[in-house]
Amino acid sequence: MMIRLFLAAMAASFAAFGLWSLLDPIGMTTSLGVDVSGPNGAYEMRGVYGGVSLGAAVLMAAGAIRQSMLRSALWFLVTYLGGYVFARAAALALGPAPTPDFYLFIAFESLGLILALVSLRAYAGR
């Protein structure tokens, strides 16, 4: 039951960020101190952050609702968030350091990865 609640919370988080990115990509990036320009800037943010996040939300929701999708949703989180955590760690090592706002992303992604790994291990132990 706790794993399903975790996946539901992740689905809500991904959906909120995905909708924000889809509906207001320039506002989203501007609020994070990221400059997006050119004719394809908003288009790319809608696809990468909007579309991918909404797709992730659907998979997380499916894992929360359907037992048969639970393992797939957890593995997706491990690989997706693991990639982000790896890249963020490399970025911190390569510099320059991000603004304090981005440490919230690092914390969210790291905590999500840890909880996904723990959940996957707990699920496999059943």
pLDDT tens per residue, range 108-126: 999 999 999 999 999 887 6
Share of the chain above pLDDT 90, in %: 79
Question: What is the reported pLDDT for 100?
Answer: 84
Decide: 58 and 64 in contact? Cβ < 8 Å. Answer: no
Per the structure, the count of domains in the chain is 1
Least reliable range by pLDDT among 37-41, 42-46, 71-75:
37-41
Tokens matching residue 75: 């593995």
Q: Does the CA dihedral 44-47-49-52 come out positive or negative?
A: negative
Decide: 63 and 70 in contact? Cβ < 8 Å. Answer: yes
Query: How buried is residue 9: exposed, middle or buried, by Cβ count under 10 Å (0-12/13-18/19+)?
Result: middle
3-class secondary-structure state, position 66: coil
For residue 16, the enclosing domain spans 2-124
- Say which residues have a Cβ less than 8 Å from residue 35's Cβ, sequence separation at least 6: 29
Q: Does the CA dihedral 83-85-90-95 come out positive or negative?
A: positive
pLDDT band at residue 24, thresholds of 50, 70 and 90? very high
